[in-house]
Amino acid sequence: MAKTTRIQDQVKIRGIRRRWLVNSVAIVLLILALAVGAFAAMLWSYYYGGTADDLTRKATSSANGFRMYTRSDYRAAAQQTVSSYEDKGRLELQFLDTTGAVLFSGNDLTAGSTPSTPDIQQALLERTAKPWSGRDPDTGERILAASSPVIYQGEVVGVIRYVTSLSEIDRQFTFSMAVIAAIALGIFAMVYFSNLYFVRSIVEPLAGITEIAQVIAGGSYGVQIEKQYDDEIGELTDAINDMSLKIRQAEKTQSEFISSVSHELRTPLTAITGWAETIQNGECRSADDIRKGMSIIVSESRRLGNMVEELLEFSRIEDGRFTLSVEPLDLKAELEDAVYTYTEFFRREGISLEYMDNSPEEVIPISGDPERLRQVFCNLLDNAAKHGGAGKRIDVSVWREGAEAVIRVRDYGPGAPEEELPFLKNKFYKGSSKARGSGIGLAVCEEIITRHEGRLDVDNAEGGGFQVTIRLPIEI
């Protein structure tokens, strides 16, 4: 199964490499093709078009110089011009009659021949000069020719034709195209291999990350990926490593939570069951024993109910069913109710609960859910007694600070280890505390305060003890 997964991952990686190369290299290839095509068109125009224009202009100019000659004068002047023509090696000059036959030529081998190429027919029939390129009907050589009619008093008396071989031009054009093609191929090769290297530098680390991610998904939480790059790949590596550690911590915390909750539920249930059976079997010796047993049953039942309520609250938060019924309320009144509720209970436990109203206003108006806020206050007071009750004193104070109401709950117990402070509000976290509880009370409190657009902070108090500070926005 693992082998199949790796093969599938490799296929995906190859697919990414192929798509990347196709998408990036195809654009470069298109640009190079357009550039080579444009260069080829420019070279063609320069070599072939320029030569054709030169021959056409030369033929037209020569024909204009013969326009004062009659048919017989044309032949005599043509013969004289050919005999004194000096550019025979580069450019052939031909004089043709009205039938298209060559009368005189700088190359005596073509005299008397009839080329019958389109440029000659154009000159004779349409009386216009036009270039033509192609293979010579007699020799098969690639040539470029331009013919212009010689017109005397509106009558065509002959044709002047210039002919040049295209062999040298073809060689120059082919060489130039070979050079530009080699340059384009070199550019393409550099782009291709640089892209291939770049893609490999991304895909291969991704393949390794994918394999480790599969290992993590298989349950090997805490496995770390070796970081090789300080870029986006490195950031992805850090994120997966952090995720792996957090999942391992979450698994450990969840396991500890299940164990802790099982123990916490079993303890009150054992006490309740034991005293209920004792009372039911009539084993109590006096009414005081019965009252004591019933008191324990009530106390443990309340504690069990509080734990179940915390778990239900946590479940509501996790699945999004946690809601607030917001209404205008007096924060001081809600806090005082909670303090009053716990004062007598703490007194019986030997704990002094001190309430200090440091706000000059009689009312601190806020918008909130009174039931949820009372839940927070009671939870914090219960935690203070549970973890700091050894100090035998708990202080609760309230005051206004700008646009915020500040509530502080402080105990005089041993406080919390400094290294555990950042984690105390995490779900299921209990740290080194041996006190009973599920470890989600502070997490639920922070969720409630956060939804009231407030803030909940935990810290050790000066002089000893632990304190929780709540800040809530005041309605103006």
Q: Which amino acid is located at 208 in the chain?
A: G
32 CA to centre of own chain: 29
Report how far residue 94's alpha carbon sits from residue 251's, in angstroms, rounded to the nearest whole number. Answer: 100
Least confident of 171-180, 318-327, 395-404, 406-415: 318-327
Q: Which pLDDT tens digit goes with each residue over 105-142?
A: 877 666 678 888 888 888 888 888 889 988 887 778 88
Least confident of 215-219, 381-385, 400-404: 215-219
pTM surpassing 0.75?
no
At 371 the pLDDT is 86
Q: Which CATH class is domain 65-167?
A: alpha beta
**Mean pLDDT rounded to a whole number for the chain:** 81
At 7 the pLDDT is 42
Domain residue limits, the chain: 65-167, 245-318, 324-473
- Structure token pair of residue 95: 């004089």
- Which residues is 96 bridged to in the sheet? 102, 159
- Structure token pair of residue 205: 């680390």
**pLDDT classification of 409: cutoffs 50, 70, 90:** very high
Q: Which pLDDT tens digit goes with each residue over 240-294?
A: 788 877 777 777 766 766 666 666 667 677 778 887 888 878 777 777 778 887 8
Report how far residue 429's alpha carbon sits from residue 443's, in angstroms, rounded to the nearest whole number. Answer: 9
Q: Which pLDDT tens digit goes with each residue over 156-192?
A: 889 999 998 888 888 998 999 999 999 999 988 888 8
Domain with residues 245-318, CATH architecture: Orthogonal Bundle (1.10)
Looking at the domain 324-473, which fold is it?
Heat Shock Protein 90 (3.30.565)
8 Å CB contact between 268 and 305: no
Q: Can you list the positions of beta strands (E) in 30-100? A: 92-96
